[in-house]
Amino acid sequence: MKIFSQCPSQPLPGSLLLLLLSSSLRVTAVPPTVNIEIPVPAKDALLRSLDRNLVSWSIQNRDLPMFTRSKLLENLFKALSTNIVIGQSVRLGGGESDKTTYVSDITITAEKYRSGYYGAQAQGNVTLGPNYFASFKEKYAPDTRYIWCLNLINTTNNFDAAISTAAGVLEYLGDELDLFEIGNEADFYGSKGFRDSEWDASMMLPEWNYIADEIQKNSPNKTVRFMAGGFANPAYIVTKDFDIPGIIAAGYQSSRIPWYSMHLYPQSGCSGAVTIAPLLEHNTLSDILSNYIPQVAAAESVGAQFAIGETNTVSCVGRPGISDTFAAALWLVDYVLFAATIGIRRVYFHATTTGSYSPIIPINYSLDSGNYSTGVLPLSYGAYFISEVLSFNDTLLIMQIEGGNDTDYSSYSVWDETNKLRKIVFINLQSYNSSIGGTNPATPDTEVYSSSGPRPSTRVTIATPWEPGQELSLIRLQAPGSNSKSQVNVSSFTFSEKDGSVTNNLVDTIITVQDNGNVEFDLLASEAVLIQHYSDVLSNKHPTKSGSKGADSTVNGVVMRTRGANMSISSVLVLDMKIMVSAILVSALLAFA
């Protein structure tokens, strides 16, 4: 069912707090409705466990030092990891991996690497030395874990580029290293002239095994593990058995391969037209990802796990006006949650220092005669919203809500291991464009356009197994419109554009389970909500503005609770006068709307 609406209630422009409050106080006529039920799943229902690193990151190895030039990535990682209670998983890989060599006595300084210098060799080769690791080591440690992609293209001196680099990685990253990959997108080697045109998985196997064996031989006291695959072509365009069933059949299976991966870019920015529309189409996304079910099954058949090892909205560093919009944040949420329901354990979002598909831009830069600054892009807020979904003390499991998914919307239920419903996610993917927040100083300007008429709102009623009267938290991933590049927030929660620190604390809207077990809420076009027990919110640590205190206010009968560093189940929430003043202002404005 597609959602159609003629209902008003466009969020008020202005501060993020006003945006939050105006979106929670809906003034509507008779909104369209969605009614769904969440029964307790049968014991044999296919519930998939959620990996706390469901949202992970992929960065070119040469770029990581440049990310340390600001605190944006450091503080983003800190916020995400506070919610999920473990460090981030970062794949250091991409096209530059197959151009990388390591020289143990090279004299390039850490500061040089941070400046973007990575050796004087031609053809874009990357030369690393000990100071490369010093340029970022412990910046995100000790909790951040790395996957390192090695150079398989360079066969000189029996693959010395890969083997010597692995030795340097093991020496300097130590326990921060999680896995090695061998080769980036090796399914393209034959067509690009790096190997014979007949190149296939069976021809790659002896090279792959030789490198893996040499790495282990040189590190006898460490168990070295690998992620195999990393192929460029999506699962629906497989060539020369370069997919997970193909390489397992060719012999890539052992205890040292606990992970397999493939890459996925739904749209190509390298050539051809790209649009924002597919980011807001659940059926398009689910059709693409369903092609990976055989990949997951193959990995699990040998006791391993499957990840999307590199992905984003549009390949070739993204596209302004698409990748840097709020639509990308909503897409990320739907992407990773649907992926989790079919057994994809992690999704690695690729980022560069200046790419519009990145979560943050860590440096000032010039491009096409324009000058751009550091900043936070909407994808960060999608990632943060997912970290709230994953915030829980024990294992969580996920499934789609039957009857709650179509082109314009999707929904997911999250359970604990005792079969109790813990969380609900509902995403309204109906497009709504706004002229508010249409630019971001970190990326190039694109055409700003607005939808005609008021912003549609939908009334969602969900029949749940929750006890009547239970107090729930409702938070919103929200922005002025799906095309907005700024003024994005998660129920008022925002990151500093300068250093990524928390500038506004999250405000939980408190709702209660109705007498019949129903949960009811309104949802704007281009918006997502997360509903969970408020007691669970209080039981888990969350990132907050330094030194802040929790606060409680009531606006038109709606309880709004601002999170603070002092939050706990026993804490007494004190009225925050700033919120009350803003609430009174919003109420007055709405009264005259």
Report DSSP state, residue 377: -
Distance between CA atoms of residues 561 and 550, nearest Å: 7
Please tell me what DSSP assigns to residue 553.
Answer: E
Supply the pLDDT for residue 570.
42
Nearest-angstrom CA–CA distance, 374 and 129: 28
Give the whole-angstrom CA distance, residue 245 versus residue 225: 20
Would you state the pLDDT for residue 572? Answer: 31
Which tokens in the block code for residue 549?
A: 């205190």
DSSP per-residue codes, 403-439: T--BTTEEEEEEEETTS-EEEEEEEE------STT--
| Tally of CB atoms within 10 A around 481 | 28
Pairing between β-strand 305-311 and β-strand 344-351 as defined by DSSP bridges: parallel
Span 440-457, pLDDT tens digits: 999 999 999 999 999 999
* The predicted structure's pLDDT at residue 150: 99
Percent of the chain topping pLDDT 90: 81
pLDDT, residue 141, reads 63
Where do the structural domains in the chain lie, given as residue ranges? 16-46+402-591, 48-390
Q: What is the pLDDT of residue 123?
A: 54
Residue closest to 151 by CA, chosen among 201, 215, 88, 108:
215
Match 């296939």 to its residue by tokens. 200
pLDDT of residue 567: 62
Residue with tokens 């874009």: 124
pLDDT, tens digit (0-9, with 9 covering 90-100), for 462-520: 999 999 999 999 999 999 999 999 999 999 999 999 999 999 999 999 999 999 999 99
Residue that has been written with the tokens 């020369």 in this structure: 240
Distance in angstroms (rounded) separating the CA atoms of residues 102 and 177: 17
Provide mean pLDDT across the span 47-63.
97
| CB-based burial, 259-277: b 16+ in 10 Å, e otherwise | bbbbbbbbbebeeeebebe
pLDDT for the residue numbered 583: 38
Where would I find the beta strands (DSSP E) of 115-252? 126-128, 145-150, 177-182, 227-231
Q: pLDDT tens digits, residue range 566-585?
A: 665 444 333 333 433 343 34
Instruction: Provide the pLDDT confidence category of residue 121 given band limits of 50, 70 and 90.
Output: low
Please answer whether residues 94 and 68 qualify as being in contact, where contact means their C-beta atoms are separated by less than 8 angstroms: no
What is the C-alpha separation between 266 and 234, in angstroms, rounded?
9
pLDDT at 6: 31
Model confidence at 15: pLDDT above 50:
no
pLDDT band at 190 (very low <50, low <70, confident <90, very high): very high
Residue 311 C-alpha from the chain's centroid = 10
Exposed, middle or buried: residue 447 (CB in 10 Å: 0-12, 13-18, 19+)?
exposed
- Report the SS3 class of residue 56: strand
Q: Which two tokens stand for residue 468?
A: 């009547």
pLDDT at 263 over 80: yes
| DSSP strand pairing (126-128 vs 100-102) | parallel
Strand partners, 510: 473, 559
Stated as kind and residue range, the H or E segment containing 192 is: none
Q: What is the pLDDT of residue 188?
A: 97
Indicate if 48-390 has the same CATH topology as 16-46+402-591: no
Cis ω before 456 (30° cut-off from 0): no
Q: Go through the chain and tell me how many residues it has.
A: 593
Helix and strand totals (H; E) in the chain: 14, 29
What is the spatial distance between Cα 400 and Cα 383, in angstroms, rounded to a whole number?
Answer: 19
Q: Which is higher by pLDDT, 406 or 168?
A: 168
- Classified by CATH at the fold level, domain 16-46+402-591 comes out as Immunoglobulin-like (2.60.40)
Contact 490, 504 (CB under 8 A): no
The secondary structure element, H or E, covering residue 454 is: none
Average pLDDT over residues 196-211: 97
Q: What is the mean pLDDT of residues 277-292?
A: 97
Diameter over CA atoms, the chain: 77
**In this structure, are residues 85 and 52 in contact, taking their beta carbons and an 8 Å threshold?**
yes
CATH 3.10.520.10 fits domain 48-390: no
Mean pLDDT of the chain: 90
Question: Could you give phi then psi for residue 425, rounded to 5 degrees?
Answer: -120, 130
Q: 3-state class of 558 per DSSP?
A: strand
- The tens digit of pLDDT for each residue in 94-119 reads 999 999 999 999 999 999 999 999 87
Nearest alpha-carbon partner for 531 in 455, 429, 421, 457: 421
**pLDDT of the residue at 222:** 85
Q: What is the per-residue pLDDT for 43?
A: 72
As given in the structure block, the two tokens for residue 257 are 């391969």
